[in-house]
Amino acid sequence: MSAILVAAAEGEEHNPLIPELPEIVLGLVVLGILFLLIRKFVVPNFEKAYAERTAAIEGGIEEAKSAQQEAQAALEQYTAQLADARHEAARIREEAKEQGAQIIAELRAQAQEEAARITATAHAQVEAERSQALAQLKSEVGSLATDLAGRIVGESLEDEARQRRTVERFITELEGSAN
Amino acid sequence: MTLASTALVAAADGPPQPGPGSFLLPPTFTIGGWEVNKPELFLVLSLVIVFAFAYATSRKAQVVPGRLQFAGELVYGFIRNSIARDNIGSADYMKYVPYLFTVFLFVLVNNFYGVIPVIQFPSMSKFGFPVALALVTWLIYNVAGIGRHGFVGYLKHQTVPAGAKGPILIALVPLEFLSNIIVRPFTLALRLFATMFAGHLLILLFSLGAAYLVTGYANAAIGIPAGVLSFVLGIGVSFLDMLIMFLQAYVFTLLTAMYIGSAIADEH
């Protein structure tokens, strides 16, 4: 109680604008200690979190970028492959067409050759048969003529009727022998 | 305790007259001749409070903040980005963030002591503490400026305004020197001290007045309603004071950052 009264009495003379040295010293010491503690234990932690956050965000952006690039590359690759495939298909089609045409041409040539061969064979056979027939005819005509002449000469040829009969008989014989 | 006793004394002796004397507190205890009083005790406690808060919120700082870390980062990010980086410049600000963060929390906690029950005494209303803070800020920005520009270069940087030539300098240089080097620590300390002093005095006036009017005034028919009114006004004043407590912590930190920024700026 007395201390308060004393304080109140002193208050009349107390000038609050005169700083007290112990307060200044204490303020400096406390502020200094707090500053050192915060600089050592608090700020690095916050800064670490900030840095990690920045890194995480940048990493995310980087990742997205690379993914986009990859997708772009894949797209280009597929497009290229597709174009290649189209070229290949066109080439194969072209080749097939050529081959087809070639095969047709070959077959045609073969067929023509065959036809020619067959025609030639037929010609040859016909020719052979003809010449054979001709040869046979020649020999037969000779003998027939001789035969006929003999008969005509052998029988008297005064009777025209006889003569006709003779010829008819000869022809009938001839027909019979031919049969 | 002190407030209650003063109120009792006042009630017995007449209307209370809170004044500068109300800020002279009796020693809580004495260590070897040094009388330790309440504001000194709580100033030391603020060291524990501030560090505990800052450490608890930053201890497990993660990329994705938890609730506690978010609270800490709210303050830290505000000091770091809005005060330090915007006023000092992105090249140099990081060096001063620890001090600015410390000063802000330190002043804030010590100011808010004024409205915390039981404590109810803003440490910064004792002039010695703001003086200590202003002294450190003064040293920091001057040392930073001298480190950047050299002693003579820094003096020129602070005293010769850009573009000023000729005889006008005779008038300008002393003025600039006065305002940038001499006056700044005084205004810093005085602003913080005076607002806290006045705020505490107002709260004292309204609360002691209310107590006196209700319990000690001769005419109870007037005294009790007037006392209640005084009490309600005291609550309003307390809220106003809380706003000022925050603003002063912000202003002190902001001015420190601005002084550092202008001291190390390359050009005016």
**What is the ipTM score, two decimals?**
0.86
What is the rounded radius of gyration, in angstroms, for the C-alpha atoms of chain B? 23
- Is B249 strand, coil or helix? helix
User: Which residues, numbered 12 to 31 in chain B, qualify as contacts with chain A under a Cβ-Cβ cut-off of 8 Å?
Assistant: 19-26
| Domain residue extents for chain B | 2-264
CA distance B187 to A85: 83
Shortest distance between the Cα of B139 and any Cα of chain A, in A, equals 12
Phi/psi class of residue B25: alpha, beta or left (left: φ > 0; alpha: ψ in -120 to 50)? beta
The verdict on B98 touching A (C-beta cutoff 8 Å) is: yes
Closest alpha carbon within chain B to A9: B21
Confidence of residue A42 (pLDDT cuts 50, 70, 90): very high
Average per-residue pLDDT in chain A?
84
CB B126 within 8 A of CB A20: yes
Question: In chain A, whose CA is at the least distance from the CA of B73?
Answer: A46
Indicate if the pLDDT at residue A154 is higher than 70: no
Measure the CA–CA gap between B227 and B205, rounded to whole angstroms: 11
A157 pLDDT band, cuts 50/70/90, is low
Query: From CA A134, how far away is CA B173, in angstroms rounded?
Result: 152
d(CA A175, CA B236): 162
Which of B22, B23, B24, B90 is most worth mutating to test chain A (most A CB atoms within 10 A of its CB)? B24
Chain A environment of B99 (Cβ under 8 Å): 35
Nearest to A26 among B19, B43, B73 (CB): B43
Tens of pLDDT, residues A65-100:
999 999 999 999 999 999 999 999 999 999 999 999
Residues of chain B positioned with their CB less than 8 A from the CB of A2: none
Q: How far apart are CA B110 and CA B125, in angstroms?
A: 9
Query: Three-state SS across chain A?
Result: CHHHHHHHHHHCCCCCCCCCHHHHHHHHHHHHHHHHHHHHHHHHHHHHHHHHHHHHHHHHHHHHHHHHHHHHHHHHHHHHHHHHHHHHHHHHHHHHHHHHHHHHHHHHHHHHHHHHHHHHHHHHHHHHHHHHHHHHHHHHHHHHHHHHHHHHHHCCCCCHHHHHHHHHHHHHHHHHHHC
Q: Residue B63 and residue A49: Cβ atoms within 8 Å?
A: yes
pLDDT of residue A5: 45
In the prediction, which pLDDT does A9 show?
46
Whether residue B130 contacts residue B182, with contact meaning beta carbons closer than 8 Å, is answered with no
Query: Number of CB pairs < 8 Å for A and B?
Result: 146
- Which H or E element spans position B104? helix B97-112
- The 10s digit of each residue's pLDDT in A24-39 is 999 999 999 999 999 9
Short-list A33, A14, A5, A36, CA closest to B125: A14
Residue B258's contacts (CB-CB under 8 Å, 6 or more residues apart) are B87
Torsion of CA B156, B158, B161, B167, to 10 degrees: -50
**How far apart are alpha carbons B34 and B28 in whole angstroms?**
11
- Choose, out of B47, B74, B129, the residue to mutate when testing the contact with A (most A CBs < 10 Å): B129
Beta-carbon separation of B23 and A14 below 8 A? yes
H/E stretch holding B33: none
pLDDT per residue as tens, chain B (268 positions):
444 444 444 445 577 778 887 887 777 777 777 778 888 889 999 999 999 999 999 888 888 888 888 999 999 999 999 999 999 988 889 999 999 999 999 999 999 999 998 888 999 999 999 999 999 999 999 999 999 999 999 999 988 888 878 888 888 899 999 999 999 999 999 999 999 999 999 999 998 888 888 888 788 788 888 889 999 999 999 999 999 999 999 999 999 999 999 999 886 5
- What is the pLDDT, as a whole number, of residue A13? 59
Q: Mean pLDDT over residues A114-126, rounded?
A: 93
A37 contacts B63? CB cut-off 8 A: no
Per CB-CB distance under 8 Å, the chain A contacts of B127 are 16-20, 23
Tokens of A39: 């600089």
The whole-angstrom separation of Cα A58 and Cα A64 is: 10
Specify the pLDDT at position B165.
80
Q: Give the pLDDT score at B177.
A: 92
Amino acid at the residue B65: P
Q: Kindly report the nearest CA distance between residue B61 and chain A, in angstroms.
A: 6
pLDDT band at A158, cuts 50/70/90? low
Angle between helices A21-37 and B128-149 (to 10 degrees): 60
CA distance to partner chain A, nearest, from residue B247 (Å): 20
**Partner A contacted by B44 (CB < 8 A):** yes
Rounded to 10 deg, the angle between the A2-11 and B2-13 helix axes is 80
For tokens 């400096």, the residue is A28
Q: Which residues of A touch B94 (CB under 8 A)?
A: 47
The confidence score (pLDDT) of residue A146 equals 77
* pLDDT average, residue stretch A93-112: 94
* pLDDT on residue B262: 92
pLDDT of A10 over the 60 cut: no
Q: Tokens at residue A134, please?
A: 């001709």
Which of B107, B145, B129, B99 lies closest to B256 in space, CA to CA? B99
